[in-house]
Amino acid sequence: MFTQIEITTACNAKCFYCPNGTLEHKHMSWECFERILQAEKSPTMLLLYGTGEPLLHPFFWEMVAHAKGKGHRVSTITNGTIALSATHSVLLDHIGFSLDTLDEALAKRSGRTSPSKALKHLLACHALAPKKIKIYALNYGQDLAPLKAFAQEHGIALAIQQIQPKKSYQVHYTTEPLPYTTFQCSYLENEKMRYYFVDGTKAPCCFMIDATKVLPTKQIQQHLAQKNNVPSCCTQCGELTGVKRLYM
């Protein structure tokens, strides 16, 4: 069980596969953040990022320190464009770096920023807090062998993520409309996470993107129980469709 807070939708990259390009760029207010922390009474694993670059939030480190002071463990994922100081590396419990390729030209074409810059920041963090670092690579069909070799050589954990085939993600790519393999969602069966959008709206998962389309959990379950009635907030979700295929 964990809590994820979309503290910002601002971003300095344009990854072709990310719905960030469809969002208005804005930061969560301190008041909203504080309200969420007050609602989250028991200490939890707090993920401070949503569809945006978390380190762009002007109060990011104040938010981390405040959450740590309340007993939460705090984790984030960054695109690696902004350096973390030694104090910062130690403050966070987990730091993910999104890096899909080491190839500068491919990264640029995909909309990501320079991998060499991200690597510089990642390795600096890794030297200070090796156990906290993980690389998150999105598999969109690129050759992952060089990245795997790099991670192995430096002893850095690597997670390969599958592309989300959900309709709301398919802004710059298309997937075959996949058949639904199930109408049960693990995020709804037991409370797995609480996701707070940048405006404070609460959702049962991090895949909904449009806060105005979030339905109450019970209502989504009722829709799914009718099998051919998947609500728009869940259409083509990877939870329901299984394996994903991407065409760039």
Nearer to ligand SF4, 33 or 53 (CB): 53
For the stretch 145-148, contacts whose Cβ atoms lie closer than 8 Å and that sit 24 or more positions apart, written own/partner, are 146/101, 146/102, 146/103, 147/99, 147/100, 147/101, 147/102
Using the rule CB under 6 A, give the single segment among 46-54, 89-97, 152-160, 170-178 that binds ligand SF4.
46-54
Applying the rule CB under 6 A, the residues between 89 and 128 that interact with ligand SF4 are 98
**Is 163 a binder of ligand SAM (CB under 6 A)?**
yes
**Is 205 a binder of ligand SF4 (CB under 6 A)?**
yes
Is residue 1 exposed (0-12), middle (13-18) or buried (19+ Cβ within 10 Å)? Answer: exposed
Applying the rule CB under 6 A, the residues between 206 and 225 that interact with ligand SF4 are 207-208, 220
Which residues share a beta bridge with 133? 95
Nearer to ligand SF4, 87 or 222 (CB): 222
Applying the rule CB under 6 A, the residues between 54 and 83 that interact with ligand SAM are 77-79
Measuring CA to CA, how many Å separate 81 from each of 119, 129, 180, 189? 9, 18, 37, 37
Of 76, 160, 74, 154, nearest in space to 119 by CA: 154
φ, ψ for residue 110 (rounded to 5)? -80, -10
Binding site for ligand SAM (CB under 6 A): 11, 17-18, 49, 51, 53, 77-79, 98, 136, 138, 161, 163-164, 169
Binding site for ligand SF4 (CB under 6 A): 11, 13-15, 18, 20, 51-53, 79, 98, 185, 187-188, 204-205, 207-208, 220, 233-234, 237, 239-240
